[in-house]
Structure 1
Amino acid sequence: MKYWLLKLGMYSASTIAITYLKGFRWWYLVIWAIVMIFVDIAIEKKFERQREQKDRNKAKKKYPFLNELNEGQVITVELKNGEKLTDVIFLDYIKSEMLLGTETEFNNELETYEVSEIRWIKLKRVESILPRAD
């Protein structure tokens, strides 16, 4: 709601300013247009972060297993079609999809896993997720 009020206020101010700035030279209008573009970009950035956080919270509420996963955790994913993905690395999730690193290899020198393939999985296709027992 705040987003649309800010946008409406910005465009109202723009209309009023253009009406009164017509009497001045043309470069006042150009400066006003540039200022409005920067204000619009700032509003978009501010509310985009809030939308992303809201989407992440909604996904966590709908799919509670996301609360237990940590970035870089090695897991086994069982899909509803019976397919089983073993030893994959959980990377991240966005809205309704989960990003997994498959075909992983352990690098002894760096003591980390190396990912050679990245795969997107729709969260609604996931039957269960099990952490790997070391």
Structure 2
Amino acid sequence: MLVQLAESDSQILGCFPVISQLRPHLQQADFVEQVRYQMKEGYKLAFLQKEEQTLAVAGFRISNCLALGKFLYIDDLVVDELKQSQGYGKQLFQWLIEYAQNHQCQHLSLDSGVQRFQAHRFYLMQRMSITSHHFSMEL
């Protein structure tokens, strides 16, 4: 199993069946164009494949802010619902940590919906801390 960064349109599109499990509002017809647009702003899409099957996907970006310095922010992290609890999420998460360290990031962070209890257990098992509340409003 190998974690790769999606670079070609076919690799990006190959991530859609898994990422759409986390983001069901996405449309396959618009997915590559949306990811390409976000890539112009620093977004990267990593995926873990086994025997040509995408098992886990992470969308992330590296940024800087006054509060954290340089950090890797995970926008999307999902394991295929039929392949969960087999270590694929842990492997992809470890890859993200190493990627952040190799790019001199001081922090790795993400937001998670309050209803995603299984994901929260996973993040806590990966030694993440709950460090803030995220507030938002639709405009």
TM above 0.5, one fold? no
User: Structure 2-normalised TM-score?
Assistant: 0.24
Structure 1 or 2: more helix by fraction:
1
Bigger Rg over Cα: 1
Higher RCO (CA < 8 A, seq sep 6+): 2
Higher strand fraction (1 or 2):
1
